[in-house]
Amino acid sequence: MKIGIVCYPTFGGSGVVATELGKALADRGHQVHFVTYNQPARLDFFSENLFYHEVSVSKYPLFEYPPYELALASRLVDVVRFENLDILHVHYAIPHASAAFMAKQILLTYGIYIPVVTTLHGTDITLVGKDRTYKPVVTFSINKSDGVTAVSEHLRKDTYEFFEIENEIRVIPNFVDLTRFSLKPKDHFKKAIAPAGEKILIHTSNFRKVKRTQDVIRIFAKVIKKIPAKLLMVGDGEQRSDCEQLCRDLEVDDNVRFLGKQDAIEEILSVSDLFLMPSESESFGLAALEAMACKVPVITSNAGGLPELNVEGVTGFLKDIGDVDGMAEKAIYILEDEARLETFKDNALARAKEFDLSIILPRYESYYMEVLEKSKMHLI
């Protein structure tokens, strides 16, 4: 198949899923064309089946808001026509699904029907999408997609609840490539971070409000009272400086390291003992899955799709949003007993294997086939 992928080219979960999916599809022999405004973060190598088409937006002085959506739609028309694409897969509804709809209408004037699959990732529905600024467009473009997927059962339900959706939404969960995300021997690194054998807790995110990063610091401040420990904060974003200040206020700053954005996240996860994700909202929790693949158990909130990933008392624990005491108590419970910690680590990996790329990728491929088959009637 010749597949066009539209995504945000950043470190965010939806961009990571889109890029990893495209790479894996290319490995399976499909031709994959990424269409976005920057080279996607994890697309930094050459493959004969991978193509990148940049969307550039004219900076004409009249435009207070440069019209990215129009530039994207125009680029899609071009790429579909001249690369003979079979299908477009857009990740994150805003503004990708509506740009794809516009491209689809324009392509019809050339006698081309391009089926569009939209994957909903989370905040495009739960936060931004249901805001009335965007709601009518999001509803329309979901209903006009030839196929719609959501990354968890919870997100599927939310979408039906918040929008008037006539389309069937298929759940295809996030995945992890276990050949990349696995426990790596990084003992020297572990020694450098925790020279006295302290336990290592970790959080990775884009430090947006929805991640409740300050809860991470508060949980850690409670854990360290009982267990010698270090905390690694990976990523960057609006909440970072508040978190740094909170570390000073709680006098844990000597034991917390802010590492900023990191590429080789699997190496940092490999030295970690426990992952913290106290999010306010989380459609799936890809970062937690990546941690589990590296044998790291997880303490999460019970928001959104997290209960579909984290198994209570098996791979970690789930607590209500904001229940810092409960999360700290469970973190201590896992970390205080070496044998118990090992069991949780094994369980985390076993669960992550259920979301291996090799299992989830064929679900996307067969969904594309199904959508293509259905859209054949538009060609008659």
Tokens, residue 75: 């680029």
Tokens 């719609």 — which residue?
Answer: 148
Q: In this complex, which beta carbon is closest to ligand GMT, that of residue 149 or of residue 347? A: 149
Choice between 184 and 208, CB closer to ligand GMT: 208
> Looking only at residues 106 through 125 of this chain, which bind ligand GMT when binding is defined by CB under 6 A?
121-123
Please report, as residue ranges, which positions from 201 to 230 form the binding site for ligand GMT (by CB under 6 A): 206, 208, 210
Q: Which is nearer to ligand GMT, 126 or 347 (CB)?
A: 126
Residue among 163, 155, 105 at smallest CA distance from 134: 163
Q: Which is nearer to ligand GMT, 15 or 115 (CB)?
A: 15
Q: Give least dist CB 375 to ligand GMT, A.
A: 25
Q: How far is CA 332 from CA 25, 243, 273, 277, 327, in A?
A: 41, 21, 11, 15, 9
Binding mask 243-282 for ligand GMT (x = CB under 6 A): --------------------------------------xx
Interaction residues for ligand GMT, span 158-197 (CB under 6 A): 174
Q: Considering the complex, what minimum distance in angstroms separates the CB of residue 144 from ligand GMT?
A: 21
Nearer to ligand GMT, 233 or 335 (CB): 233
Q: Considering the complex, what minimum distance in angstroms separates the CB of residue 259 from ligand GMT? A: 17
Stretch that binds ligand GMT, among 13-21, 28-36, 45-53, 351-359 (CB under 6 A): 13-21
Least distance in angstroms from the C-beta of 174 to ligand GMT: 5
Beta carbons of 4 and 369 less than 8 angstroms apart: no
Among 92, 275, 364, 367, binds ligand GMT (CB under 6 A): 92
- Kindly state the smallest distance separating residue 310's Cβ from ligand GMT, in Å: 12
Binding to ligand GMT, residues 135-154 (CB under 6 A): 151
Other residues' Cβ atoms within 10 Å of the Cβ of residue 74: 16
Q: CB-wise, 221 or 292, nearer to ligand GMT?
A: 292
Q: HEC profile for the chain?
A: CEEEEECCCCCCHHHHHHHHHHHHHHHCCCEEEEEECCCCCCCCCCCCCEEEEECCCCCCCCCCCCCHHHHHHHHHHHHHHHHCCCEEEEECHHHHHHHHHHHHHHHHCCCCCCCEEEEECCHHHHCCCCCCCCHHHHHHHHHHCCEEEECCHHHHHHHHHHCCCCCCEEECCCCECCCCCCCCCCHHHHHHHCCCCCEEEEEECCCCHHHCHHHHHHHHHHHCCCCCEEEEEECCCCCHHHHHHHHHHCCCHHHEEEEECCCCHHHHHCCCCEEEECCCCCCCCHHHHHHHHCCCCEEEECCCCHHHCCCECCCEEEECCCCHHHHHHHHHHHHCCHHHHHHHHHHHHHHHHCCEHHHHHHHHHHHHHHHHHHHHHHHC
By CB under 6 A, residue 40 contacts ligand GMT: no
Q: Is 316 in the site for ligand GMT (CB under 6 A)?
A: no
Closest approach, Cβ 121 to ligand GMT, in A, equals: 4
Instruction: Please report whether residue 14 would count as binding ligand GMT according to CB under 6 A.
Output: yes
Nearer to ligand GMT, 14 or 31 (CB): 14
Q: Which of residues 278-307 bind ligand GMT (CB under 6 A)?
A: 281-286
Q: How far apart are CA 292 and CA 102, in angstroms?
A: 40
Which residue number, 139 or 205, has a Cβ lying nearer to ligand GMT? 205
Considering beta carbons, is residue 224 or 277 the nearer one to ligand GMT? Answer: 277
Distance in Å, CB of 271 to ligand GMT, minimum: 23
Q: Is 12 in the site for ligand GMT (CB under 6 A)?
A: yes
Q: Where on the chain is the footprint of ligand GMT (CB under 6 A)? A: 12-15, 17, 92, 121-123, 151, 174, 206, 208, 210, 281-286
